[in-house]
Amino acid sequence: MRFFNNAGPVNCDDHYCLPPLSRLDLDDVLALIQQKRYFVLHAPLQVGKTTYLLALMDYLNQSGLYRCLYFNVEVAQAARENVSQGIRAILDEMAECAIYSLKDSFLAEQNWAQFGANNALNIALTRWAEASPQPLVLLIDEIDSLMGDTLISVLRQLRAGCHKRPALFPQSIILCGRRDVRHYHLHSAQNKTIITGGSAFNIKAKSLRLDYFTPNEIETLYQQHTDETGQSFESGTLELVWELTAGQPWLVNALGYEVCFEMKTGRDRNIPITAEMMIEAKERLIERRETHLDQLVDKLSEKCVQRIISPMLQGEELGQSVRPDDIQYVIDLGLVNRGEMGLQIANPIYQEIIPRALSFITQLNFESTIQPARYIGPDGRLDMEKLLTAFQELFREHSEHWIKKFDYQKAGIQLLLQAFLQRIINNGGRMEREYGLGRKRTDLLIIWPNNKQTQKIVLELKWRYFLLEKTLDEGLEQTWAYMDRVGTTEGHLIIFDRHQNTQHKDKIFRREERYRKQKIIVWGFSVNSDQ
């Protein structure tokens, strides 16, 4: 039985798959190779780059026109900036891959170390191309895993030999990684300078980006499961997969595997997969922090990422310290993209996991002090007023202490509140978040099931930027609109205030308001200006 692949390259014999070579225009790729071009293929983490390259290698070798070799240079990452060790590791990997894929032992039979690290790769490729009966094509994966002088040496040796192609150097080379080579900024420890990848590899003819799945491609992928098992997907379920993932291939496959092969209900092929089951699968992925998600979360500690994500969490605009390269970097990582509303988190799953990951330690610290049962009524409903009252008490006594623990201190108050809520929500409900640049607010929707009727609670988190009453008027309208959109009568407006001249009675408060005959409870919090 085939299955949804959530680890490593896709093998269409083992996994549900889209034809790998359909992911890019094959005629364009073949034309670049025929024209003896060196070019770049890039895409975020686990989009299908390796799967595509392996399929391309097989296609080119079967054509009989070229001898194509795929190899991964990540093996040299451990060498860091030790060029000698790095180049030796790359040559060893090339030699092993040539034996395995091409049954060619030429590279393995030579002693390339005698030529020195900054010439060995160039000479090896020259002599191999000379001995090859067909023009060589190289597919070099994970090129941006190399560091500093090692990466600079590789790029420069490839550039130095390109004028000898195709008789004495590979006819075409594809460099593959998360980022376009022109965005590399490499620190040379040897020369004490910063070198751009574009200058070290200025023979690049084109950059191709592997895109995410379209809604039609998601339907095609999931239909293979239905065809092979008979298990169907209820109406609206595949649309939800698109909504949750925005087509990110790993997420699409991971949801499919979780719901159809891991969840007990989904393993019964007589039961159709529902939207509710897909929501549960999403929550399970987030709670387990799969490797893919962990790799993204790890990037949140980088300063250039913080400069983008922190204002998003607050709903503020980007600061003047943000550089274009910062923006391109987080796009290349796949954390954000440019959508209809401008720069935004790439998909709702990433949007959910970012604040949960940033507040994870705080959630753990709350486990010993916050008992969820205190905030659940006899009827099973979540008592949000009691919960927010408890948060106000905690905020009044300990907010400064807690907020200083966050790497994202400017977004600390939102993260603190969400950590507090998440401690309770993890015991049976879920919380959905909407936030982004320039929104000047964060929308939270708590969904709490009980025996009678699922409870939906809207929380609108808003900063005070002008007079309190103006903020209040605007916030009430936004809270009501969100309540109306999700179909609930339970809403709370939470106002954070950094103004130093806030009167004592307005620092921390609770009051009831009405907007269009709807009751909305307003909660006020005064935050130190440096938080």
| Residue 230 domain flag | yes
The reported pLDDT for the residue numbered 500 is 60
Identify whether 13 is part of a domain.
no
Q: According to the 3-state scheme, what is the secondary structure of 217-279?
A: HHHHHHHHHHHHHCCCECCCHHHHHHHHHCCCHHHHHHHHHHHHHHCCCCCCCCCCECHHHHH
Report the alpha-carbon angle 403-407-409, nearest 5.
45
Which pLDDT score, from 0 to 100, does residue 410 have? 83
Model confidence at 515, in pLDDT bands (50, 70, 90)? very high
Do residue 273 and residue 301 come from a single domain? Answer: no
Burial of 59 (0-12, 13-18, 19+ CB in 10 A): middle
232 in the same domain as 166: no
Residue 461 — pLDDT band, cuts 50, 70, 90? Answer: very high
Q: Is the pLDDT of residue 502 over 60?
A: no
| 51-58 contacts, C-beta under 8 A, 24 or more apart | 51/9, 51/10, 51/17, 51/20, 52/20, 52/21, 52/23, 52/24, 52/210, 53/139, 53/141, 53/174, 53/176, 54/9, 54/20, 55/20, 55/21, 56/20, 56/21, 56/29, 56/139, 56/174, 57/101, 57/139
pLDDT at 192: 65
pLDDT digits (tens, 9 = 90+) for 59-104: 999 999 999 999 999 999 999 889 999 999 999 999 999 999 999 9
Same domain, yes or no: 117 and 261: no
Whether 8 maps to a domain, the answer reads: no
Please report which confidence band the pLDDT of residue 305 belongs to, taking 50, 70 and 90 as the band edges: very high
251 lies in the same domain as 175: no
Mark whether 284 and 315 lie in a shared domain. no
Task: For residue 7, tell me if it sits in a domain.
Answer: no
- Whether residue 439 has pLDDT greater than 50: yes
By DSSP bridging, strand 455-463 and strand 441-448 are antiparallel
The reported pLDDT for the residue numbered 506 is 53
Residues 304 and 182 in one domain: no
- Predicted confidence at residue 29, as pLDDT, reads 97
pTM of the model: 0.90
**Predicted pLDDT at 138:** 98
pLDDT for position 425: 87
514 has pLDDT over 70: yes
For residue 400, pLDDT beyond 90: no
One-character DSSP codes across 286-344: HHHT-HHHHHHHHGGGSHHHHHHHHHHHHT-PPPTT--HHHHHHHHHHTSEEEETTEEE
Task: Give Cα 65 to chain centroid, integer Å.
Answer: 38
Whether 504 has a pLDDT exceeding 50, the answer reads: no
Task: Count how many domains the chain has.
Answer: 3
372 belongs to a structural domain: yes
- Whether residues 133 and 255 share a domain: the answer is no
pLDDT score for 413: 87
Q: 136-141 and 67-72: which strand pairing?
A: parallel
Query: Which residues are CB-contacts of 43 (< 8 A; sequence separation ≥ 6)?
Result: 49, 178, 209, 210, 211, 334
99 and 190 housed in the same domain:
yes
Summarised one tens digit per residue, pLDDT across range 119-160 is: 999 999 999 999 999 999 999 999 999 988 999 999 999 999
Residue 323 lies in a domain: yes
Instruction: Select from 175, 209, 243 the last residue of a domain.
Output: 209
Average pLDDT in the chain: 91
Q: Mean pLDDT throughout 294-308?
A: 91
User: Residues 270, 143: one domain?
Assistant: no
Residue 236 in any domain: the answer is yes
The domain boundary residue, chosen from 149, 183, 209: 209
Compute the C-alpha angle 68/69/75, nearest 5°: 165
Average pLDDT value for residue range 415-428:
88
**pLDDT of amino acid 283:** 92
Under the banding of pLDDT at 50, 70 and 90, the label for residue 181 is confident
Please give the structure tokens belonging to residue 218.
Answer: 């998601």
* For range 190-199, the mean pLDDT: 70
Q: Is the peptide bond before 19 cis (omega within 30 degrees of 0)?
A: no
The token pair at 151 is 């990466």
Q: Which two tokens stand for residue 424?
A: 């309770």
pLDDT digits (tens, 9 = 90+) for 225-265: 999 999 999 999 999 999 999 999 999 999 999 999 999 99
Poorest-confidence range of 108-112, 207-211, 250-254, 358-362?
358-362
Residues 200 and 73 in one domain: yes
Mean pLDDT lowest among 42-56, 59-73, 410-424: 410-424
pLDDT > 90? residue 53: yes
Same domain, 258 and 178: no
Which of 410, 416, 414, 444 has its CA nearest to residue 429? 444
5 within domain boundaries: no
Backbone angles phi, psi at 496, to 5 degrees: -100, 135
What span, in angstroms and rounded, lies between the C-alpha atoms of 477 and 378? 32
Q: What are phi and psi of 292, to 5 degrees?
A: -55, -45
Point out the domain boundary residue: 209, 229, 250. Answer: 209
Residue numbers of the domain that contains 31: 20-209
Q: Are residues 253 and 301 in the same domain?
A: no
CATH number at 61 reads 3.40.50.300
